[in-house]
Amino acid sequence: MIEARDLTKQYGDKTAVHDLNFTVRPGIVTGFLGPNGAGKSTTMRMIIGLDAPTSGRVTVNGRQYRDHRAPLREVGAMLEARAIHTGRSARNHLLAMAATTGIGRRRVDEVIDLVGLHEVADRRAGQFSLGMGQRLGIASALLGDPATVMLDEPVNGLDPEGILWIRNLLKQLAAEGRTVFVSSHLMSEMALTADHLIVVGRGTLIRDVPVAEFIASASSNSVRVRTPDPSRLRALLTGEAVSVSSSTEGQLDVTGLSTDEIGLRAAAAGIALLELSPVQASLEQAFMELTADAVEYRTLSSSREEVAA
Amino acid sequence: MSTLANETYEARVVAASEPGVTFSGALSSEWIKFRTLRSSWAVLLAAVVALVAIAGLIGYVTGSKWDGQLDPEDRVASAPLQGLFLAQLLIGVLGVLFVSGEYTTGMIRSTLAAVPRRLPVLWAKGVVYGLVTLSTLIPTTFLAYGVAQLFLSHFGHSTSLSAPTAFRAVLATGIYLALVGLLGSALGWIVRSTPGGISLLVGLLLIVPVLLEVVPGQWAKDISHYLPSAAGASFYSSLQADGALSPGAGLLVLVIWVAVATTVAAFLLKRRDG
């Protein structure tokens, strides 16, 4: 469980994270989504105490990270930037990390096997490919067998096999009841992996919703209808929470009604339909629109209060 | 995963029986870090070789010229240990690297995530590096002294450790080098960059003394006795230069330098974003 309350971070006069409030719950994969530079990495650095918040606080399992007796057993983190000495072997890196918290050699061997680095564990980390580096980062994160796992852009630079491996690993970790917090700037990746989304832009919270709800709301489903009698159909369909627009002669774009409802109403009124098809904006599109400019953040961030309440 | 097969992590509380972060844990972590980098041993070996080889060379040269033109300072017990001028740079740079290497590679993020209270890392690094340098360099300075005596005795001029100042000079050389190493580490913490740390160290040990020498006026001379290099020389040299500190005062001033630099390092480490 990760809880951020009024979390703010300023570097000089630049605000990286502004008044962020969210809760990351156990048992599901929570995606931390936002364009590059939205403040995701800064937030994660504050969660494990690398950066101190300018104001507000963030706790893990009810306490600030540094106040835990055995931090590595509470939270396992992999940051986007490499955090490994290039001159040291993977095994020695993990042994050095483990030693701080009295984690034994057996657990080190276990995580090496778990991430599939057995063959290369004694090679210097500087010779590792990007994918091997990510696996070593994940091994470090799992070292303390923590209930909370936090990974910053874990699929970056991975090959398809590696991406699939991470997706399955994240789902497995969540199924075990762990709190799994994963950042990404790719909506499509999050749609496949995450159950819940925390969306940020320019350091501000934009959405805090289940993925399904985000997809439903953000993809602005509309229905394209072609008819020989557009003006009658328009009059018939227009109503509260329904908007009808027309870009081409004889074609209407309807939002707020399903294809079924439109078809049945048209039939009841005796209007012929030549085409009736759902149009789904791509998720990526929706995400980009959502995070496109600052004006929209402000209007949309008001939804935060509803979510938090 | 394997450890808690039938249990959910949702309600997991870290048990009191599971070890937490301890200072001895931080110590063993730092020792693993030190010994698993090739550069640690390469630089340490270079310092050992420099001390012994130069002592042998000086022993041979002074022995062969003993009856000719030799300054008194070439005949004293500490004279063969001049390899320390090279060794101090190697040990100081290794001290910088032991810390700055964490920052340049990003390892520091893993280190501070494991020990988020941070200061134990600084103390542990200091203890590990101090013990490593003391335990290798003190025997090395005695070995170097012995090698020099071997050459000197070939010409019939050896001194022994029981000579006045000899034992102190040899022991002090090892201690001086270890303190320079700790000063290097502190500078590494302060500037968090390898070139920056090395520049500061070299500036403090080699450049500032020369600058103070060129500055006219007595005050510059007075101050210069308190520089780490001059204070160190008072401590390890058999000869006491004009107006220089006593050996004990020299050691004290050197320790104060290390203590102040380490305090600044600790303050910054605690305060800055990692």
Token code pair at residue A291: 């995070």
B268 touches chain A (CB under 8 A): no
Contact A97 B114 (CB under 8 A): yes
> Shortest CB distance from B32 goes to which of A79, A83, A99?
A99
> Which residues in chain A are closer than 8 Å to B30, comparing Cβ atoms?
96
Residue A304 is predicted with a pLDDT of: 42
Instruction: Return d(Cα A274, Cα A252) in angstroms, integer.
Output: 11
Give me the amino acid identity at B143.
L
A130 in Cβ contact with A166 (< 8 Å): no
Residue A306: which pLDDT band, with cuts at 50, 70 and 90? very low
Q: Domain A2-217+287-308 is of which CATH architecture?
A: 3-Layer(aba) Sandwich (3.40)
Nearest Cα neighbor of B270 from A76, A66, A100 is A66
Contact A50 B274 (CB under 8 A): yes
Report chain A's mean pLDDT, rounded to a whole number: 88
Nearest Cα neighbor of A26 from A180, A144, A199 is A180
Interface residue of B4, B6, B14, B121 to substitute, partner A, most A CBs within 10 Å: B14
Higher-pLDDT residue of A192, B255? B255
Tens digits of residue pLDDT in B70-81: 777 777 878 889
The residue of chain B nearest to residue A172, with distances taken between CA atoms, is B1
Alpha-carbon gap: A200 to the closest alpha carbon of chain B (Å): 22
> Mind giving me the DSSP string for A260-300?
HHHHHHHHHHT---SEEEEE---HHHHHHHHTS-HHHHHHH
- Write B5-12 long-range contacts (CB < 8 A, 24+): B8/A27, B8/A176, B8/A177, B9/A26, B9/A147, B9/A176, B9/A177, B9/A178, B9/A179, B10/A26, B10/A27, B10/A147, B10/A177, B10/A178, B11/A177, B12/A147, B12/A177
- Write A210-219 long-range contacts (CB < 8 A, 24+): A211/A31, A215/A191, A215/A283, A218/A281, A218/A283, A218/A286, A218/A287, A218/A290, A219/A280, A219/A281, A219/A282, A219/A283, A219/A286
Alpha-carbon distance values, B134 to B137, B186, B187 (Å): 5, 17, 19
Integer-rounded Cα radius of gyration of chain A: 24
Count of residues in chain A = 309
Residue B156 is predicted with a pLDDT of: 79
- For chain A, give every domain's residue range: 2-217+287-308, 221-279
Inform me whether the pLDDT recorded for A244 exceeds 90: no
B33 touches chain A (CB under 8 A): yes
Alpha-carbon gap: A195 to the closest alpha carbon of chain B (Å): 16
Contact B114 A52 (CB under 8 A): no
Tens digits of residue pLDDT in B154-166: 887 777 777 778 8
Inform me whether the pLDDT recorded for B18 exceeds 70: yes
Q: Is A20 helix (H, G, I), strand (E, B) or coil?
A: strand
The residue of chain B nearest to residue A77, with distances taken between CA atoms, is B113
Contact A92 B10 (CB under 8 A): no
Q: Nearest-5° angle of CA A283, CA A289, CA A291?
A: 105
SS percent in chain A: helix, strand, coil, step 5: 40, 25, 30
> Which residues in chain B are closer than 8 Å to A45, comparing Cβ atoms?
273-274
Give me the amino acid identity at A270.
G
Contact B106 A66 (CB under 8 A): no
B223 touches chain A (CB under 8 A): no
Residue A190 is predicted with a pLDDT of: 87
Residue A277: which pLDDT band, with cuts at 50, 70 and 90? confident
> Which residues in chain A are closer than 8 Å to B2, comparing Cβ atoms?
110
Give helix B38-65 / helix B23-35 axis angle, nearest 10°: 70
Contact A88 B33 (CB under 8 A): yes
> Which residues in chain B are closer than 8 Å to A50, comparing Cβ atoms?
109, 112-113, 273-274
Contact B33 A72 (CB under 8 A): no
Give me the amino acid identity at B135.
S
Residue B17 is predicted with a pLDDT of: 86
Tens digits of residue pLDDT in B244-271: 899 999 999 999 999 999 999 999 999 9
Q: Nearest-5° angle of CA B104, CA B107, CA B109?
A: 110
A49 in Cβ contact with B73 (< 8 Å): no
Contact A69 B14 (CB under 8 A): yes
Q: Hey, CA dihedral for B109, B110, B111, B113, is it positive or negative?
A: positive
Q: How many CA atoms lie within 13 A of B141 on its CB side?
A: 29
Contact A70 B20 (CB under 8 A): yes
Contact B20 A96 (CB under 8 A): no
> Shortest CB distance from B8 goes to which of A72, A96, A177?
A177
Nearest Cα neighbor of B88 from B229, B187, B267 is B229
Contact B273 A51 (CB under 8 A): yes
Contact B108 A83 (CB under 8 A): yes
Tens digits of residue pLDDT in A48-98: 999 999 999 999 999 999 999 999 999 999 998 789 999 999 999 999 999
The residue of chain B nearest to residue A140, with distances taken between CA atoms, is B110
Residue B100: which pLDDT band, with cuts at 50, 70 and 90? very high
Token code pair at residue A27: 């048992």
Lowest-confidence region among B98-107, B234-243, B259-268: B234-243
Q: Is B265 helix (H, G, I), strand (E, B) or coil?
A: helix
Interface residue of B2, B36, B110 to substitute, partner A, most A CBs within 10 Å: B110
B192 touches chain A (CB under 8 A): no
> Shortest CB distance from A79 goes to which of B33, B101, B109?
B109
**pLDDT mean over B219-224:** 90
A39 in Cβ contact with A14 (< 8 Å): no
Count of residues in chain B = 274
Higher-pLDDT residue of A159, B143? B143
Enumerate residues 6+ apart whose C-beta is below 8 A from A230.
Answer: A246, A249, A250, A251, A252
Alpha-carbon gap: B203 to the closest alpha carbon of chain A (Å): 27
Residue A300: which pLDDT band, with cuts at 50, 70 and 90? very low
Task: Give CATH for domain A221-279.
Answer: 3.30.70.100
Residue A303 is predicted with a pLDDT of: 43
